[in-house]
Amino acid sequence: MNNRNVWESANQKKVKQIDTFAKKYIDFISDGKTERECTDLAVNMLEDAGFIELDKAIASNKRLKAGDRVYSVCMNKSVVAFTVGTEPIEHGMNILGAHIDSPRLDIKQNPLYETDKIAYLDTHYYGGVKKYQWVTLPLAIHGVVAKKDGTIVEINIGEDEDDPVFFISDLLIHLASEQLEKKASKVIEGEALDIVVGSMPLNGADEDKKEAVKNNILKLLKMQYDIEEDDFVSAELEVVPAGRAREAGIDKSMVLGYGHDDRVCAYPSLMAMLEVKKPTRTTSLILVDKEEIGSVGATGMRSEFYANSVAELINLINGEYSELMLKRCMAASYMLSSDVCAAFDPSYADKFEKKNASVLGGGMVFSKYTGSRGKSGSNDANAEYIAALRKIFDEKGVIFQTGEIGKVDVGGGGTIAYVLALYGMNVIDCGVAVLNMHAPFEAISKADVYETFEGYKVFLSEMGK
């Protein structure tokens, strides 16, 4: 199989389109560093495109017809959307599903403490991370604090130029001989990933007074955010790398930033959903939380949120609902599990099987199966489904490649694909190749994210015709 390169086949017009799309994606990924922020951005874009809340349609008993567009949000951390097609809903949908959570550090419920005149916030890492990669970086805090009176305080510290940033300290090289002898997994322990938040004692306090630095932090939190120490109990605060995503390379062909996995697939999925306005088959978008920790919980793909939303959609389209109709709809649907794949890295070539690895600039990536080693935890797509996808993408000139996460016995990974496959629908993983996956800063090709957007549009409009 001869893989094509998007850049080599692109004329000047397409190169400009790639660059314009990438700049908008940079804005999205820089402004949406948490699942809550991504949900807010997505809802604003959906509403600007004429989508209405599903709950409002239900309350008004609105009968949906072809071309109508609705969305629904779960706990401000997941969002689904639908554009009603001209075909009956029980004939199935064309679904794009991505996740909007990314590896990070979560602040614990009793986090603030002082040791030797330095104040810290205690953290718990979320998702698969190399812990040593998170030390000495400028970090920001994003999230919400829910107070007992029902007030929600939004927190975003470390992104504006005048904001302070935070960091995790590391041992100086002059004293690190024993540390450097440890395995990489032990160089930095999980409980050592506490962020430094201050070192100034409370003004006027005795220098020997206990927790004077901590008390100063609490005073500032009260003054600036009206937050008490007990309010951390009902907070969701995430520690992420500070700063915007950036163009990378002298040729500016790449984007380096936090959270490409999986917002680099969420963004083109959202943009494709906005552009396909009059589909034959009903189209659906899923932007979901908790994939990095097993798709668990109310906002994860394994919850009933999506199926419940489809059930309500069926009721509004047909004026009635039956479980049989829901099952028929789900089983007849096609889905692209919009998730990233590991890009071949020449610096670590021995970890890849090169002819089956995806590459930067190679276009949209199809992964027939995921899982690890003997395909454990895998979704394995049907050959007939892949053939149908090949046909529509070749006809529309979309450049695509195949990929897998490393050599068979080296490792692997999973996505939300297996969850939707439980309904009996055809599902395959399809997304963007990523370097440095799960690192604080990941890298992607501008050409790949744009080509994936083009592919997602073709899938929504052409699949199943």
395-430: pLDDT as tens digits: 999 999 999 988 888 877 888 999 999 999 999 999
| Residues 254, 247: Cα–Cα separation, whole Å | 6
In a domain, 246, yes or no: no
Q: Is the peptide bond before 19 cis (omega within 30 degrees of 0)?
A: no
One digit per residue, pLDDT tens: the chain, 465 residues? Answer: 557 899 999 999 999 999 999 999 999 999 999 999 999 999 999 999 999 999 999 999 889 999 999 999 999 999 999 999 999 999 999 999 999 999 999 999 999 999 999 999 999 999 999 999 999 999 999 999 999 999 999 999 999 999 999 999 999 999 999 999 999 999 999 999 999 999 999 976 555 578 999 999 999 999 999 999 999 999 999 999 999 999 999 999 999 999 999 999 999 999 999 999 999 999 999 999 999 999 999 999 999 999 999 999 999 999 999 999 999 999 999 999 999 999 999 999 999 999 999 999 999 999 998 877 888 888 888 999 999 999 999 999 999 999 998 888 887 788 899 999 999 999 999 999 999 999 999 999 999 999 999 999 999 999 998
pLDDT at 208: 56
Shared domain check, 188 and 76: no
Are residue 351 and residue 262 in the same domain, yes or no? yes
End-to-end alpha-carbon separation of the chain, Å?
27
Contacts of 56 (CB under 8 A, 6+ apart): 62
Q: Are residues 274 and 400 in the same domain?
A: yes
**CATH code of the domain containing 450:** 3.40.630.10
pLDDT at position 69: 98
Tokens 């630095």 — which residue?
Answer: 213
**CATH number of the domain enclosing 168:** 2.30.250.10
Same domain as 413, residue 307: yes
Same domain, 89 and 111: no
* DSSP characters over 383-432: HHHHHHHHHHHHHHT--EEE--SS-TTT-EE--SHHHHHTTT-EEEEEE-
pLDDT reported for residue 1: 57
Helix (H) or strand (E) holding 365: strand 364-367
Q: Are 265 and 371 members of one domain?
A: yes
Closest CA to 464 of 97, 99, 98, 88: 88
Q: What is the pLDDT of residue 2?
A: 59
CA neighbor of 113 nearest in space, from 102, 125, 122: 122
**147 within a domain of the structure (yes/no):** yes
Q: Are 107 and 123 in contact (CB under 8 A)?
A: yes
In this structure, the answer to whether residues 69 and 148 fall within a common structural domain is no
* Structure-token pair, residue 8: 């080599």
Cα–Cα distance for residue pair 276/114, rounded to 1 Å: 54
* Co-location of 233 and 111 in the same domain: yes
**Pair (202, 55) in one structural domain:** no
Q: Tell me the per-residue pLDDT of 43-59, one tens digit each, with 9 for 90 and over.
A: 999 999 999 999 999 99
Could you tell me if residue 252 is inside a domain? no
Which of 208, 241, 274 is at the close of a domain? 241
- Give me the phi and psi of 92, to 5 degrees please: 105, 170
Q: Are residues 281 and 193 in the same domain?
A: no
User: In Å, how far are 173, 208, 210, 439 from 215, measured between CA atoms?
Assistant: 32, 13, 9, 34
Do both 127 and 91 map to the same domain?
no
- Asked if residue 396 is part of any domain, the answer here is yes
Please indicate, yes or no, if residue 162 is contained in any of the structural domains. Answer: yes
pLDDT value for 410: 82
DSSP for 208-242, please give it: TSTTHHHHHHHHHHHHHH---GGGGGGEEEEEEE-
Quote the pLDDT of residue 60. Answer: 93
How many domains are contained in the chain? 2
- For 150, the domain range is 105-241
Let me know: does 447 contact 248? Beta carbons within 8 Å.
no
**pTM: predicted TM-score of the whole model, two decimal places:** 0.95
In this structure, is residue 248 part of a structural domain? no
Answer whether residue 31 is part of any domain. yes
Cα 199 from Cα 114, distance rounded (Å): 9
**CB–CB of 111/123 below 8 Å?**
yes
Contact between 363 and 438 (Cβ < 8 Å): no
Residue 64's pLDDT is 96
pLDDT of residue 155: 97
Q: Are strands 334-337 and 139-146 parallel, antiparallel or unpaired?
A: unpaired
Whole-number pLDDT of residue 379 = 87
Same domain flag for 221 and 112: yes
222 belongs to a structural domain = yes
